Amino acid sequence: MIYIDRLIMSKDVKSTISLYNRLFKLPSNRTLVFLVVVAAFVVGGITEILRNVGQPTILQIFLIGALRGLLITLPAAAIAFLLLWLVIRNNGFLNLHRLLGVVASAIGTLLIIWLLSTLVGWGIEIYFKFNFGPLAGGGIATMFYLRNLILAAAFTSAIMLLIVLSATDVGVIKGVFLTLIFPTLVIVFYIFSEVALWANWLIFIVIYLLCALMFVTASGILLSLVGRPLRKVFNIDGIQLFRGFLEVWMADNADRMEDCLTQIGQEMTLPLSILTFTTDNEKPRLVYVVAAIHPGPFRRTGSSALPSYIAEWGEQQLDTLATAPHGTATHDLNLVSNDEVKRFIKIVDLAYRQTEPVEGVSQFARASSGTIQVGCQIFGDTAYLVITRSPHEMDDISIHVANQISAEVTKLVKRCIIVDTHNCMTALKESVYPDSELVPDMIQAAIEATREALKTPKDQASIGVVHRKELGYSDGQGMGPEGINVLVVEVSGQKTAYVLIDGNNMVVGLREKLIQTLVPDLVDEAEILTTDTHETSAISSHNGYSPVGEAISHDDLSVLIGQLVKEAIKDLKPAQVSIYQGETTPLVVMGEGTAGKLTSLIPVSANVAKRVGITVFTVAFIISLILLLFILPTAV
C-alpha cells in the first residue's frame, strides 16, 4: 500500500486552509460602502491631478476629479448591485452582504487599474518632457487615462465573471451577461462625464465590448483549466466541487458537495463497537458508539456531525444519552453523504439490540512508551483502550494502525475497543499511518496497559453519568452542540472519569490542566477526550476551526468539568455493562487516499489559476492594448 508523503500533505492542508480562510472574509456593509466611497473620491481626485500637472488650482482640480470618480463608480455599482440581486437573490449563499463584497471588489479592481494606468501614462509623459523638452509627450497621460479606464472595466468584467460562475448556478451564458452589467454601466457613466467623447460614443462602446470579450474569453479558458486537475484524477467537475464547497461553507447546504463525494467514494466494511451502561432499570444510562468512521469533512457534509447523529438516535430511539468517542479513522473514512449516515444509524440500531452483558470490570491502568500513553479498562473480556500523545501533538490514528494494535492486544484478551482521545493538536499534524515512527510505541503501550489492567481486581462497576449541552459556548469557539458528557466508573474503590467534549481536538497542555483539576482530589484516574466533530469546522481560526481551549477560558473549563465530575460521582450506582463488537455492512466512504488527494489538488488548482490566469489575461491585455492605443485613436 502506498501512503501519501506526510510532509507534503501537511503543507497542502495548510495551503488549502489558507485559501479557505480568505473566502468571503468581509467587513460590515457599512464599512464596505464607506471604503468604496472614499476610494472612488480619492482615486478620482488623484487621477485628475495627474492629468493636469502644472495647473495652479490643485484643490479645485482634485474636487472635480473626485466628483468624477464618484459619478463613474457609485451609480454603476448601485444599479449593478440591484440588478444582480434581482437575478440571484434565491441563490442561497450569495446574500446581500456577500454580493456587496463582490461589487466592492469589482470597484476596487477598477479604481486600482484606473490609478495605475494614469500613473503609467503620467510617468511616460514626464519622461518625454524631461528628455526631449516641454512640448514632448503629446498628452500620453490623458490618452492612457481615457483608454485604460475601459481596459480596467474589462478587467473588472473578468473578475466578476469568475466570481459569479464559481459561486452561482446561473450558467455560463447568463453569467457573461450578468458580469457585463457593471463594466457596461461604468463606461456609460464615463462617457457621460467626458463631453469630448459624446460624438464618438458608438465606436467607444464597440471597442469596449471587444476588450470585454477578450477578458470573458480569458475567464472561460481559466475556469476550464482550473477544474482539470480534479477531473483528471477523480473524473468530477472541479468547478462543481468548488461550488459545492461554497454552498456548505456559506449556506450549510451539502447537497452538491455530497454528490461530488459520492461520485468518488468507495464502499468499505468498517469495525463497529457499542458499550452500554445500565443501572437500576432496563433503559441504559449511557451508550458509547465507537466506529471506524471519521466525523468529516466539515460542517454538515457527510459524517461531519456524527456525534450529533448518534446523540439524536439515542434520544429518539432509546430515550437515553448516546455519544460517539473518536474511533481510529482518518478523513479517508468520512461517510460521503447524509444518506450513508442514515444507513449507518440503522446499522447502529441493529447492533445495539445485539449487545450482550459482560461480567466484571477491571480498574483503570495506564502505560507509556516513548511519547505515547495508553489507558486501559477491561470490561468483561474486552479491553477498552484510550490513546493519547499529549502534551505532544498528534492527529487521527489510521484504522490500519488500530488493526495492528488490536492484533497484539487480543493475544491477551478476547476483544479490544480502541479510542483516539484526539486531545492535543493546535497546529496541523500528519495522521498516524502504519509507516509512522509512533506505531511501535502505540503497540507497546497498549500491550503494557492491558497487562497492567489484567493485574487489577475485577468487580462489578458503579457508574455515574452527567451530560451538559447548554454551556454558553458557540461552535465558533470550538464547542459542538453536544457539549460535554462525563462517565465516572468506580471499581473496587478506584474512580475513573472519562470526560468527552464535543469538539475538534484540544490545544496543547489543556488536557494536563484539566486532569490536574480532577486527579487526585475528585477521582483516581481521568482522561479527557474530544469527539472530533467537524460541525465546528469551516467556521473560524487560522486552522479553519477552533480546537477546544483556543477560544474558551481554560480556567472556566476546568471549573465546569470539575463540577460535572462531582455531579457524576454523586450519581454513582451499580451498573451492568453490555458490549457489541462487529462490522458494518458496506458503506460509501471517501476511500483510501482520497482526502489527501483532494487536499493536495486544491493548491494545484490554485497554482493553475495563477499561472494560467497570468498568461491568458496578459494575452487579453495585449490585444486590448492594441485596440485601445492604435485602433481607437484612429476612429475618434
- The 10s digit of each residue's pLDDT in 393-413 is 998 999 999 999 999 999 999
Cβ(557)–Cβ(531) under 8 Å? Answer: no
- Residue 25 pLDDT level (bands cut at 50, 70, 90): low
**Around Cβ 276, how many Cβ atoms within 10 Å?**
24
216: its cell numbers: 470573458
**Around Cβ 342, how many Cβ atoms within 10 Å?**
12
Q: How far apart are CA 128 and CA 13, in angstroms?
A: 51
Of 249, 243, 261, the closest CA to residue 88 belongs to 243
Terminal-to-terminal C-alpha distance of the chain: 69
pLDDT at 108: 84
Q: How far apart are CA 273 and CA 581, in angstroms?
A: 4
pLDDT at 112: 83
Q: What percent of the chain has pLDDT over 90?
A: 43
Q: How far apart are CA 484 and CA 498, in angstroms?
A: 10
Residue whose cell numbers read 432496563: 282
pLDDT at 475: 81
pLDDT at 439: 96
The chain-wide mean pLDDT, for the chain, equals: 82
Residue type, 6: R
pLDDT at 10: 47
pLDDT of 579 higher than 80: yes
Residue type, 178: L
Q: How far apart are CA 20 and CA 22, in angstroms?
A: 5
Q: What are phi and psi of 317, to 5 degrees?
A: -95, -30
pLDDT at 7: 39
pLDDT at 4: 39
Q: How far apart are CA 20 and CA 245, in angstroms?
A: 10
- Residue 9 pLDDT level (bands cut at 50, 70, 90): very low
Q: How far apart are CA 442 and CA 448, in angstroms?
A: 10
Of 300, 369, 289, 383, the closest CA to residue 327 belongs to 289
Give the chain's length: 636
pTM, whole model, 2 decimals? 0.76
Q: How far apart are CA 286 and CA 275, in angstroms?
A: 8
pLDDT at 1: 37
Q: How far apart are CA 23 and CA 15, in angstroms?
A: 13
Least confident piece of the model among 21-25, 230-234, 256-260, 554-558: 21-25
**Around Cβ 20, how many Cβ atoms within 10 Å?**
17
Residue whose cell numbers read 447548554: 470
Q: How far apart are CA 439 and CA 369, in angstroms?
A: 10
Q: How far apart are CA 223 and CA 178, in angstroms?
A: 17
**Around Cβ 90, how many Cβ atoms within 10 Å?**
7
Residue whose cell numbers read 457596461: 184
Residue whose cell numbers read 486552509: 17
Least confident piece of the model among 264-268, 304-308, 461-465: 264-268
Give the sign of the dihedral formed by CA 352, CA 354, CA 357, CA 361. negative
pLDDT of 481 higher than 70: yes
pLDDT of 521 higher than 90: yes
pLDDT at 321: 95
Long-range Cβ contacts of 352-359 (<8 Å, 24+ apart): 352/274, 352/276, 352/287, 352/318, 352/580, 354/580, 354/582, 355/274, 355/275, 355/276, 355/578, 355/579, 355/580, 356/578, 356/579, 356/580, 357/576, 357/577, 357/578, 358/382, 358/577, 358/578, 358/579
Least confident piece of the model among 151-155, 318-322, 567-571: 151-155
Provide the 3-class DSSP secondary structure of residue 331: helix
Of 242, 264, 262, 244, the closest CA to residue 252 belongs to 244
For residue range 504-519, what is the model confidence (pLDDT) as tens digits? 999 999 999 999 999 9
Whole-number Cα distances in Å, 631 to 2, 218, 634: 58, 21, 6
The top-scoring range by mean pLDDT among 53-67, 99-113, 442-456 is 442-456
Beta bridge partners of 83: none
CA 358 to chain centre: 42
Average pLDDT score over residue span 437-457: 96
**Around Cβ 130, how many Cβ atoms within 10 Å?**
11
Of 270, 298, 184, the closest CA to residue 535 belongs to 298
Of 344, 283, 331, the closest CA to residue 575 belongs to 283
